[in-house]
Structure 1
Amino acid sequence: MLDKLKKHYRNSITTDTSQQSGFLWFITDDGAPFGISQSAISDSESRLLRSMFNIYENDTITPAYSSAQLKWESILLGNESTDEESFYRFVHFFSKQPITDFISFSEAVNGLFPEDAVLLLNKDHKGGVIIETSKQEFTDTPYEALKDMLSTDFYIDISVYIGSYHHQLAHAKESFEREQQQFIEVKNQLLPKSVYTVADVVPQLLLQSANPVAEKTLHALLAEWDEEDQETLKSIKVFAECNMNVSLAAKKLYIHRNSLQYRVDKFYEKTGIDVKQFKNALTVYMAILSYEHHKNL
C-alpha cells in the first residue's frame, strides 16, 4: 500500500519523521510512518486516508517552547510558585485527533491572537491551551473563527472553551485544571457551537448536580408542553439568551418582533410565568435546558 501511495504522491510523500511542518502523518498496519504534504491532499483524500490509516504520533517530536511557554508550562505543572499578579485567561481547545504539525499549528494560532498569547499543547497533543495575557474582546479576536480555521486547515474537529478572567498567578494551576474539568464534565450535553463560555457550562453543571426535587420542579414547569409548541420553547430560550431583548431575539430567530411577542405572551397564558422578568426567565431557561437534555437521552 505504501508503495502505491509513493507512486501517486511522488515528491509529496516522505518517511523522514523529522519533516513535521506542513505534513499530515499516518502509520501503516506494519508500523511504518509516512507523511504527505498538506498542499497535495484534498479534503476528500484526507478523509479517505484517515479512514484507512491511524494518525502517527511521534513521541520524539516535542515543541520547541519559548521562555514564555516554558514559564507557563512550569506554572501549570505546579513546578513554579509566584505571588505575581497580572491578567490572564485560558482559551482551552480539545481535539479527538493529535496535532502532529506543531509549527504550522502555532503559526495559525499566532495569526489570530496577540503576540503576547502563549500556546501550550497537552502531553498527548490532543488539545491544549492558549493563554491570553492581555484583555481581548470578542470583537478584537475572532474566537468564533478559531474552530473553523483549525478544522479546515488541520482537518481536526476541535471544541473551544474560553475561561474566565484571572489575575493571581498563584492560583493559575488550580484555575486551569478546574476549567478543563468543568468543560469535560458537560461537553456531551452541550449543543454544537463555535465557542463555549462559562455561561454555557455552568447551567449544565448545575443540572447535573441537581437533587431529585429540583429536577422534578424543573420538569413540572413544562410537563404539559405539547410537541407542536417546540417553536415557542425555542423562542423563549433564545429570548432569555438575548437578555430578554425582543428585537435581538427576533433577529436571531429570523421572525418579526411581534411574532416573538406573541409567543412570549402565549407562554405566559399557558404557564403563568412572565419571562420578561429576569428571575422567571432564568428559571424557565434552566427548565428548557433540562427538558432538552432528557429529551435527547
Structure 2
Amino acid sequence: MSNSVFQSVIVQLKDISDRTFGVIDTEGCVVSCTDVSLLGERWPDAALRIGGGVDGITVFAQKCFKAIVGSSNLFEYAVFCSGDDEMAKSFCSMAYIALNDAKIFYEEKHDRGTFVKNIIMDNILPGDIYIRAKELHFATDAPRAVFLIRQVGRSDVATVDVLSGMFPDKMQDFVLSINESDVAVIKQITVNTPSEELEKIAQNIENTLKNELRVKTSIGIGTVSEHLRELADSYKEAQTAIEVGKVFDTEKSIMRYENLGIGRLIYQLPTTLCEIFLSEIFKKSSIDCLDQETLFTINKFFENNLNVSETSRKLFVHRNTLVYRLEKIKKLTGLDLRQFDHAIVFKVALMVRKYLASRETR
C-alpha cells in the first residue's frame, strides 16, 4: 500500500477542520498526517490499544482512532483525529470512510492488474480465475482485445506511462509491462466491435509513441477473447502475430493474428519438414538460381493475381518480355506460374524458404 494514497486524502481533510488528521500503521508509526512534523513518530501503545478492538472508535492519548482492517479483518492501519470529544469522534469516522475507500480502490486497481498479468502469463490455474475474479468484482465474460506493443531498436521506460494516459479507465483497461521491450494493453471492448476499430486503436498507439517518445514499435493483435480464461491464448496470438509478421510481412508494423494467413501455418512447421518440402519442389536447388530481378517479377505477378497484362503494365515491360521470363522460370523450376496450382505451390515454397532463412539468423 502506497502511503502517498493516504497523504493525498489527508491533505484534503485540512479544509474540513483545524484538527490534526493522520494514519498510523500496525507498529504505531505515523505514515501520513496533516501535520508533517509528526511523520515518522511512533506510538506503539496506541497501536496495541487499537489492535485490541478494531470495531469502534478508540480514544487514547487525547486522540480518536479507528482501525482500517484488511481482508482477514485484522488491523492494518488506523485513522486518527486530534481530540477526544464527540466532534473528534465524528471527524475520525468521516476520515475513516474516505481513507478506507481510497485503500480499497488502490488495492483493487493494483490487484486487478496483477491478476490480469498472471492470466496472460499462465501463472494462475483456470479454476482459480473464477474465484479471484469474484473477489475482485471482475466481469469474467466481457469481450477484451489484447495488444502487444514491442519497442524496436530503442526502448523507453516512459512507454508504460504514455500508454496508461491513453487508456485511463483503470477498472476496465490494463497496461502491463512484460519486459524491457514489451508492453501489453488489455482493453475491454463492446460486443461486435469491428476489426477495423482494433486496427485504429493500434495505429493510434503507434503514432502516439512515435510522436511523443520517438519509439518505433511492432504491434500484434490477438483474437478478441470473450472470457477471462481466453486472455492467455489471445496474448500468445499477439506474440505470434509479431513473430510471423517479422518473417513474412516486414513492411507492416501492425499485425492481426486473424490476418496472418498461410504464414501462420508455415511458422508452426518443423524446419526438417520445410527442408524436405523445398527439396521435393525444387530439384537441385533450382530456386537458388533465380536472381533478384526474377524474384521481383514473380512477386509482382502474384500481387496482380497472375494477370500477365496487368503485371507487365506495372513492371513497365512488354507483355512478351514477361511471358519470356515466366517461361524461363518454368524451365528452371518445372513450375508454370500461369497455372493456379503451380502458382500456389511456388508461393508457399517461397514463404517456406523465407521462414528457414529467418531461423538461420537467430
Under a length normalisation based on structure 2, what TM-score does the superposition of the two structures give? 0.46
Q: 1:157 aligns with which of 208, 211, 216?
A: 216
Secondary structure, counterpart of 2:286 in structure 1: coil
Name the aligned partner's letter for residue 156 of structure 1. Answer: V
Name the aligned partner's letter for residue 103 of structure 1. Answer: D
Q: Which residue of structure 2 lines up, in the alignment, with residue 233 of structure 1?
A: 295
Q: Report if the CA contact (8 A) 2:337-2:346 is conserved.
A: yes
Q: Report if the CA contact (8 A) 2:146-2:231 is conserved.
A: no
Q: In structure 2, what is the Cα distance between the partners aligned to 1:186 and 1:138?
A: 20
Q: In structure 2, what is the Cα distance between the partners aligned to 1:238 and 1:99?
A: 41
Question: Quick check: 1:217 aligned with 2:280?
Answer: yes
Q: In structure 1, what is the Cα distance between the partners aligned to 2:327 and 2:244?
A: 32
- Spell out, residue by residue over 1:125-170, the C-alpha distance to the aligned partner (whole angstroms, 9 max, x if none): 5322233534333377164564354234213332211223443432
Q: 2:147 aligns with which of 91, 116, 119?
A: 91
Q: In structure 2, what is the Cα distance between the partners aligned to 1:273 and 1:225?
A: 15
Question: Quick check: 1:103 aligned with 2:161?
Answer: yes
Q: Which residue of structure 2 lines up, in the alignment, with residue 170 of structure 1?
A: 229
Q: In structure 1, what is the Cα distance between the partners aligned to 2:172 and 2:243?
A: 26
Q: In structure 2, what is the Cα distance between the partners aligned to 1:160 and 1:271?
A: 37
Gaps of 5+ in 1: 1-61
Q: Report if the CA contact (8 A) 2:145-2:186 is conserved.
A: yes
Q: Which residue of structure 2 lines up, in the alignment, with residue 286 of structure 1?
A: 348
Under a length normalisation based on structure 1, what TM-score does the superposition of the two structures give? 0.54
Name the aligned partner's letter for residue 229 of structure 2. Answer: A
Secondary structure, counterpart of 1:244 in structure 2: coil
Q: In structure 1, what is the Cα distance between the partners aligned to 2:226 and 2:167?
A: 23
Q: Report if the CA contact (8 A) 2:336-2:343 is conserved.
A: yes
Question: Quick check: 1:80 aligned with 2:136?
Answer: no
Relative contact order higher in (CA < 8 Å, ≥ 6 apart): 1
Q: Which residue of structure 1 lines up, in the alignment, with residue 100 of structure 2?
A: none
Higher mean C-alpha deviation, range 160-169 or range 213-222: 213-222
Q: Report if the CA contact (8 A) 1:268-1:274 is conserved.
A: yes
Q: 1:101 to 1:196 in 2, by over 3 A?
A: closer
Gaps of 5+ in 2: 1-105, 134-138
Q: Report if the CA contact (8 A) 1:119-1:130 is conserved.
A: yes
Q: In structure 1, what is the Cα distance between the partners aligned to 2:335 and 2:214?
A: 46
Secondary structure, counterpart of 2:254 in structure 1: coil
Please say which structure displays the higher CA radius of gyration: 2
Q: 1:244 aligns with which of 305, 309, 328?
A: 305
Q: 1:101 to 1:131 in 2, by over 3 A?
A: closer
Q: Which residue of structure 2 lines up, in the alignment, with residue 255 of structure 1?
A: 315
User: Deviation at 1:233?
Assistant: 2.2
User: Deviation at 1:92?
Assistant: 1.3
Q: In structure 1, what is the Cα distance between the partners aligned to 2:171 and 2:340?
A: 39
- Spell out, residue by residue over 1:39-77, the C-alpha distance to the aligned partner (whole angstroms, 9 max, x if none): xxxxxxxxxxxxxxxxxxxxxxx9x95898576446435
